Amino acid sequence: MKQTWRVLVIFVVLMALWNTIIVKPIKLFTVFLHEIGHAFMAVVTGSNITGLSIYFNESGHVTSLPKDWLSAFLIANGGYLGSVLFAIFILVLKNTRFKKYIIGFIAIIFLGVTFKYSGIISFTMLYSVIFAAFAIIVYMIQNERLHDWVVEIIGIGSVTYAIYDTFVDTVLLQVNDMFGLFRVGPMPVTDAVLIARLTHIPAVVWGILWLAISVFAVYAILFRKKGGSGRSAKKY
């Protein structure tokens, strides 16, 4: 129960501070995972990746050469769905004997992906190096409580990113574009827009679907039952 409340507090605080400079390093982390989700689906579908970048303004992109329609569809879906799956993966591993390897493994992935697809002279490389240095510092401190907090923050941050971005950048913007409620400038070409072009299903539908999956993931993380919990001993 204590851990559930801690995760809930982290989620609420991140949502409240999402557009502040305080959360920027975490947002960049989640954007990186988002782009890795696209890249992962490109690899799975056998499509070539020609570049991967994140930027200080919290945007990012993966450029790839999809093999066919299905590949393009899966790659476009890989971002937000990947963010949620990575978050679940991180938070599940936190409760296993592998938790001490999570931050270091992520740092290695970031550096490897950056060397292969982003180049040495890039903001993506700068962020990867900074994250790797941060991971080394956390390991050097050797404080298990600090390590747990870091893992939980980056895990919940990934789900927060998926929820906030799908709701604001996809659902709200698409609804506004449909009804012309406010002037917000040109409509950005989001993942949902790309999928809408592929499927001819409105982008807002995909945004709502991603949002539902993200909210369900938060519920599953906050209220999942621990093994053996709630069971009383029985004699046979």
Asked if residues 18 and 27 have their Cβ atoms less than 8 Å apart, the reply is yes
Written as six digits, the tokens of 75 are 């790659």
Written as six digits, the tokens of 229 are 């919990």
What pLDDT was estimated at residue 222?
64
What pLDDT was estimated at residue 108?
96
In the numeric block, the tokens 């994140």 are attached to: 54
Does the pLDDT at position 197 exceed 70? yes
Q: Which of 14, 60, 32 is nearest to 129 (CA)?
A: 32
Express each pLDDT in 101-118 by its tens digit: 999 999 999 999 999 999
Rounded to two decimals, what is the model's pTM?
Answer: 0.86
Asked if residues 33 and 90 have their Cβ atoms less than 8 Å apart, the reply is no
Q: How confident is the model at residue 5 (pLDDT cuts 50, 70, 90)?
A: confident
What pLDDT was estimated at residue 70?
95
Asked if residues 37 and 81 have their Cβ atoms less than 8 Å apart, the reply is yes
What pLDDT was estimated at residue 225?
47
Asked if residues 33 and 83 have their Cβ atoms less than 8 Å apart, the reply is yes
Consecutive H or E run containing 197: helix 191-199
